[in-house]
């Protein structure tokens, strides 16, 4: 009956979690999946989340179905985080926002919507990008192409090539963009470059789909949303998927959002209705527990302020690990350029190690990175950083 079903090769990122868990090396270090670990190598429960959880737990309350779009407070929290508390488009009711099952769920609902209502549109992703971008859109029968992005030779961006490529695209083609903290490279566009990208999008009438999963881990909440808010200022139609997995450390609660900025209130109503319809036929409604945590933290002023501080503490610890690893490696391999470690932004660093070197780190040292050489810098701490540096020196010397 099912003998013709293909075996699943596993996911290049999530598959690392199982391998890491099974690894008996006492010195093993997880630099694979994009998860934040603290200085003790532990996944934190944020203080603001603890408070929210206590309010949810006492008094305990029933768990009714949520609306298809999720809790209004969750949706409001997404909108204010992405567009700014006083954004005119929010006052004018021009944003259709639904709570989703993480950022992945937001991308999936968006991909289904594009396939249904823009069937001629192709979706273009950066080369390289987060692998699941391609799987999610292709899984919704949206044809996926790649636009030039990372320049292996320079560690920068093939900006002129990218712009020239955008100039060849058709009206309503979708560009899947990383507003900050690019995954897997950590290499972000400058504000001037974003301005040029958005001008081409406007001129070619392309559809920007911005996936922001690490807001707050780059510079700050507002700066990380520059591309999003500039697109709004230009009056562009815009899709934004956001994730609270990392910046609320709520990975398993599956909380995120999908927002669509529309030209008129009537179009916002139409889009919002169809997003609801898409949710209904996919999973009916989003999970309530995570939604309530988001609602409480985003809408309680004191908790929101505490949350910002906790995100910036995570951001700063990652930055300190970048600086430390760079100086340790420079000391061990004088003359070799490790500037990429501090030039790159957010949770990830594209180390440029070959697949063989990545495999050697794993087999010889129990150090796990994604095979494309992406390192989750948040897995580093003062007790493992020298071990990781020495191992990198070892594999780099061959
Ligand atoms: C760019 C990007 N977008 C969306 C997501 C999905 O997030 P979520 O809210 O958990 O559905 C992730 C997760 N990335 C990390 C984990 C994973 O691969 O699922 C990662 O890149 O390791 C991203 O890196």
CB 230 within 8 A of CB 193: no
CB-count burial class (<10 Å; 0-12, 13-18, 19+) for 299:
middle
- How far is the centre of ligand 1, averaged over its atoms, from the C-alpha of 213 (Å)? 7
Question: From the alpha carbon of 254, which atom of ligand 1 is closest?
Answer: 9
Q: Which residues have CB under 8 Å from 236's CB, separation 6+? A: 198, 201, 202, 208, 261
pLDDT digits (tens, 9 = 90+) for 178-189: 999 999 999 999
pLDDT digits (tens, 9 = 90+) for 299-339: 999 999 999 999 999 999 999 999 999 999 999 999 899 99
Q: Which of 108, 130, 173, 295 is the catalytic position?
A: 130
pLDDT at residue 156, rounded to an integer: 96
pLDDT digits (tens, 9 = 90+) for 139-165: 999 999 999 999 999 999 999 999 999
pLDDT digits (tens, 9 = 90+) for 53-106: 999 999 999 999 999 999 999 999 999 999 999 999 999 999 999 999 999 999
Closest CA to ligand 1's atom 12: 213
Mean pLDDT, all residues of the chain? 97
ω into 184 cis (within 30 of 0) = yes
- pLDDT-based confidence at 115, cuts 50/70/90? very high
CB 33 within 8 A of CB 16: yes
Structure tokens at 94: 């021009």
Closest CA to ligand 1's atom 2: 213
363: region left, alpha or beta (phi > 0 left; psi from -120 to 50 alpha): alpha
pLDDT at residue 398, rounded to an integer: 63
Q: Which of 246, 295, 307, 326 is the catalytic position?
A: 246
Residue positions counted in the chain: 398
- How far is the centre of ligand 1, averaged over its atoms, from the C-alpha of 97 (Å)? 20
* 250-264 mean pLDDT: 98
Question: From the alpha carbon of 251, which atom of ligand 1 is closest?
Answer: 10
Share of the chain above pLDDT 90, in %: 99
Cα 76–Cα 310–Cα 323 angle in degrees, nearest 5: 125
Q: How far apart are CA 181 and CA 127, in angstroms?
A: 15
Tell me if residue 307 is catalytic: no
Q: Which of 173, 188, 211, 224 is the catalytic position?
A: 211
* 8-18 mean pLDDT: 92
Tell me if residue 246 is catalytic: yes
Adjacency order of strands within the sheet including 123-127: 95-101, 255-261, 238-243, 207-212, 174-177, 123-127, 144-148
pLDDT at residue 51 greater than cutoff 90: yes
What residues pair up with 359 in beta bridges, in sequence order? none
Structure tokens at 111: 């991909």
Ligand 1 proximal residues by C-beta, below 6 Å: 13, 33-34, 102-104, 130, 132, 183, 211, 213, 243, 245, 251, 256
pLDDT at residue 397, rounded to an integer: 84
Cα 42–Cα 48–Cα 51 angle in degrees, nearest 5: 105
- How far is the centre of ligand 1, averaged over its atoms, from the C-alpha of 204 (Å)? 29
Indicate the pairing of strand 374-376 with strand 348-350: antiparallel
Tell me if residue 130 is catalytic: yes
Question: From the alpha carbon of 102, which atom of ligand 1 is closest?
Answer: 9
pLDDT digits (tens, 9 = 90+) for 279-288: 999 999 999 9
């Amino acid at each position: 009956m099912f003998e013709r079903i293909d075996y699943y090769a596993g996911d290049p990122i999530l598959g690392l979690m199982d391998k890491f868990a099974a690894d008996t090396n006492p010195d093993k270090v997880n630099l694979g999946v994009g998860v934040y670990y603290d200085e003790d190598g532990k996944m934190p429960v944020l203080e603001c989340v603890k408070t929210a959880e206590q309010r949810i737990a006492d008094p305990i309350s029933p768990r009714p179905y949520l609306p298809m779009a999720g809790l209004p407070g969750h949706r409001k929290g997404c909108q204010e985080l992405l567009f700014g508390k006083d954004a005119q488009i929010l006052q004018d009711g021009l944003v259709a926002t639904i709570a989703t099952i993480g950022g992945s769920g937001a991308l999936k609902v968006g991909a289904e919507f594009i396939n249904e209502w823009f069937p001629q549109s192709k979706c273009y992703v950066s080369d390289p990008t987060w692998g699941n971008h391609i799987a999610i859109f292709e899984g919704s029968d949206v044809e996926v192409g790649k636009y030039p992005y990372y320049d292996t030779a320079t560690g920068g961006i093939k900006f002129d090539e990218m712009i020239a490529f955008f100039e060849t695209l058709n009206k309503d083609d979708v560009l899947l963009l990383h507003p900050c903290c690019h995954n897997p490279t950590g290499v972000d566009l400058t504000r001037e470059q974003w301005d040029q990208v958005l001008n081409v999008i406007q001129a070619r009438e392309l559809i920007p789909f911005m996936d922001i999963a690490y807001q707050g881990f780059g510079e700050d909440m507002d700066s990380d949303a520059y591309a999003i808010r500039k697109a709004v200022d230009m009056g562009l139609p815009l899709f934004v998927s956001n994730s609270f997995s990392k910046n609320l450390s709520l990975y398993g609660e599956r909380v995120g959002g999908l927002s669509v900025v529309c030209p008129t209130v009537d179009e916002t109503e139409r889009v919002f209705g169809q997003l609801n319809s898409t949710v209904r036929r996919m999973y009916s409604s989003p999970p309530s527990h995570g939604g309530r945590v988001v609602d409480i933290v985003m809408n309680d002023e004191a908790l929101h302020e505490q949350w910002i501080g906790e995100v910036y503490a995570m951001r700063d610890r990652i930055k300190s690990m970048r600086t430390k690893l760079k100086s340790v490696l420079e000391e061990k391999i004088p003359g070799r350029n490790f500037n990429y470690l501090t030039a790159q932004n957010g949770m990830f660093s594209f180390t440029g190690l070959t697949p063989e070197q990545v495999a050697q780190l794993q087999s010889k040292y129990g150090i796990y990175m994604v095979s494309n050489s992406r390192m989750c810098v948040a897995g580093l701490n003062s007790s493992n950083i020298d071990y990781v540096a020495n191992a990198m020196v070892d594999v780099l010397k061959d």
